[in-house]
Chain A
Amino acid sequence: MKKRGQVEIIGLMIIVIILSLALLFVIKVVFTKKNPDVSQNYQTNTLVEAFVNTLFQTSSGCTTDTTIQDLLVDCAKNPFSSGTIMCSDGRSSCQYANETIAYILQQTIDKWGFQNTGYEFVAVAPPNQQIVYYGSGNLSASLAGETTPFTLRLYPSQQYLHVYLCIGGCGLT
């Protein structure tokens, strides 16, 4: 009689253990399942391209007819003299481009929740001279999906200015 009771208790324990394992499995599958966030992926992929293209077209405010692209090209052509364009407020094209791009990034991407992944904006002029740099958030370089640079031809030379906007870090340094 005593032995039968013990067997029953062992049976009950086995049932309880199986149920607990099943419950844990369900919790793990349902709550920890990482769904591919379609919107977030799309936003990240289109953000970089749209951001840089928009930035190039934007009126700089340096002079009445210069865009940010003009400032970057001028700065890239003369990186050691901080550019030839002198803005209406006395700043050089390099300084103006740096400060304006930093301001735009702070007002947009910084506010859009990219602090966790971090990002870098880098403009590299020949011969490998960083003329603009802005980094924000936790830079891991692990999410640097967009490391293909945007290029601007530095006419009349055959050289190019490379512009990077990397979510997660460019890992250039």
Chain B
Amino acid sequence: MQTKIRTKKAQKAQLKTGETIIVLIIFFILLAGGMIFYAKIQKYTTSQKKQETAAVDAISIEQRIRHMTEIPCSIDGTIIFDCYDLEKIKGLQKTIPDYMLYYNSVIFKNSKVTITSVYPVAEEILLFDAETREISTGTQPYRTPVTLYDPLTNMYSFGYITIEVFTS
């Protein structure tokens, strides 16, 4: 009689243990799912933040280019706002490699800056291209219209500056 009761108790205990194990398994599955979901959300928000930071960086680079003393158009010493001298740009292109550290770390940072003339002359000038670009991912390019003055022909062209900031 006592053996029968013992066997019954043991069976009940086994059932309880099995139940506990199943509950634990379900709990850990839910926990793992939650962790994966959280990680995905974090990844998404991080990439969004990166894009935003790159966009703000592009704006600050554009502001720095706008206030560079090397390239603006000037008539009798008076600077014309939002106008860049094509000959000065070509001169700056040649100067940049000699002062790469300065231009790379202070002015252009991790970016690619292109100046495009649309009308009346179609032309594209690559002003700066970051060295670390190969290991980076690009973001939405930032563009702003500018006047490009050619002192050789005394012609003002419609152009724009494209700034692409790269994030690693």
Contacts and interface: CB of A to CB of B under 8 A. Distances in A.
A50 B158 contact: no
A58 B117 CA distance: 11
A34 B157 CA distance: 38
B47 to A, nearest CB: 12
Interface in A14-62: 23, 26, 30-31, 35, 37-40, 42-43, 46-47, 50-51, 53-55, 57-61
A123 B37 CA distance: 53
A81 B120 CA distance: 26
Interface residues of B, number: 28
A31 B119 contact: no
A98 interface: no
A108 B156 contact: no
A26 B34 CA distance: 12
Main secondary structure of the interface of A (DSSP, over half): helix
- Kindly state the interface size class of chain A when it binds its partner: 20 to 34
B59 interface: yes
Interface stretch (B7-15, B102-110, B142-150): B142-150
Interface of B: 37, 41, 44-45, 48, 52, 55-56, 58-59, 82-83, 118-120, 140, 142-147, 155-160
